[in-house]
Amino acid sequence: MLEVRNLVKRFGAVQALKGISFCLYPGEIVALLGPNGAGKTTTIRCIMGLNRPTAGTVLVEGRPHTDPAVRMKVGLVPEIPTVYGLLTVWEHLRFVALAYRLREWEARAQRLLQELDLWEKRNSLGNALSKGMKQKVLLSMVLLHEPDVVLMDEPLTGLDPQAQREFKQYVLDLRAGGHAILMSTHMLDTVERLCDRALVLKQGTLLAEGSLDSLRARFHLPSSTPLEDIFLEATRAEATGAEATSAEATGVEATSAEEPVPGPAPTQAEQPPQEPGGRKEGR
C-alpha cells in the first residue's frame, strides 16, 4: 500500500534521514519508534509531502505520492494539533467533506463528534479549543474520510485516558477495515498492545524492523521481553547492513532550502497548510 525506498532528507548540514526503506501493507499497524531526533516526524512529513525528500521514492499503491490521484489516499494526524482558529469544529468536518467530495457525511460526522465527546463543542471556534480537543478534531477529520494510509505522529499526546482508549479502538477499527497505519510514538506500553510490526529509527537510520517476536529473536531476547527492552536493545545496536543504507552510499547532495513537494495543494484537510505557532513550522 505504501512503499518508502531509500528516503534521504537533509536540512542543510543535518542528515535527518540517511536512506530508509520500508513498506506498509493493508490491515496493519506499524509503530515508528526511535529516540528524540531519530527522524520519525521527518519520515512522516516526507511521506505526506510536507517536507521535500532530498532523495528517494515514496509510492502509494505503486504511484508516486505526489500524484494527485493517490495523494488523497494518505492522511495525517500530526504531532502538533493545529486547527483553523476561525473555523468551528463542525466547519472543520465540512471542510474535509468538501475537499474529499464525501456524500452523506453529516450523520457520520455527528457520531464521530459524539464518540469523541466533541459534540457540545461543534459550534466552538478552533482557537477556543484545548490541545486535547484540537487533537480530537484532527482525529475526527481523518476518521471522516478514512484514507487508505493513516500516518499518526505522537497521536496520543494530550488525550485524556478516556479519549486514549477510544482512540486505540478507532485505530483497531481502521486496521480491521484494511487501512495501513504508521504511528510514531514514545508510548511503548501502549503501542506494544496495538502494533503488528515496529520500525526502529536512530539518527536517520532504520536499525531494525519486524514483528515484536522477530525483533526479540534478532536481538536474542526472551519471548516475554517487553517492547521497551527490545527498543533499548535495538537502539544500542550499531546500524549495519542493508538496514543502514547511508546517504553517502546514495551519493546525493544536500539541499539547503526547504520547499513543499510540487503539485496540487495537499488534500489532507487534517493538516492545515498554515501551522501558526507549530514547533515544526516551515520545515
Which residues sit at the interface with ligand ATP, rule CB under 6 A? 11, 14, 16, 34, 36-42, 283
Nearer to ligand ATP, 41 or 271 (CB): 41
Q: How far is the CB of 78 from ligand ATP (least distance, A)?
A: 11
Long-range CB pairs of 270-273 (<8 Å, 24+ gap) are 270/75, 270/76, 270/77, 270/78, 270/96, 270/138, 270/141, 270/142, 271/48, 271/50, 271/76, 271/78, 271/82, 272/82, 272/83, 272/84
Nearer to ligand ATP, 39 or 126 (CB): 39
Nearer to ligand ATP, 42 or 88 (CB): 42
Is 234:243 a contact under the CB 8 Å cutoff? no
Q: What is the spatial distance between Cα 155 and Cα 131, in angstroms, rounded to a whole number?
A: 12
Q: How far is the CB of 188 from ligand ATP (least distance, A)?
A: 13
Q: How far is the CB of 149 from ligand ATP (least distance, A)?
A: 18
Nearer to ligand ATP, 18 or 121 (CB): 18
Q: How far is the CB of 282 from ligand ATP (least distance, A)?
A: 7
Alpha carbon distances (Å) from 106 to 97, 113, 140, 186, 190 = 9, 10, 12, 34, 32
From the number of C-beta atoms within 10 Å of its C-beta (0-12, 13-18, 19+), residue 148 rates as buried
User: Residue 223, Cβ neighbours under 10 Å: how many?
Assistant: 8
Nearer to ligand ATP, 34 or 56 (CB): 34
Q: How far is the CB of 133 from ligand ATP (least distance, A)?
A: 22
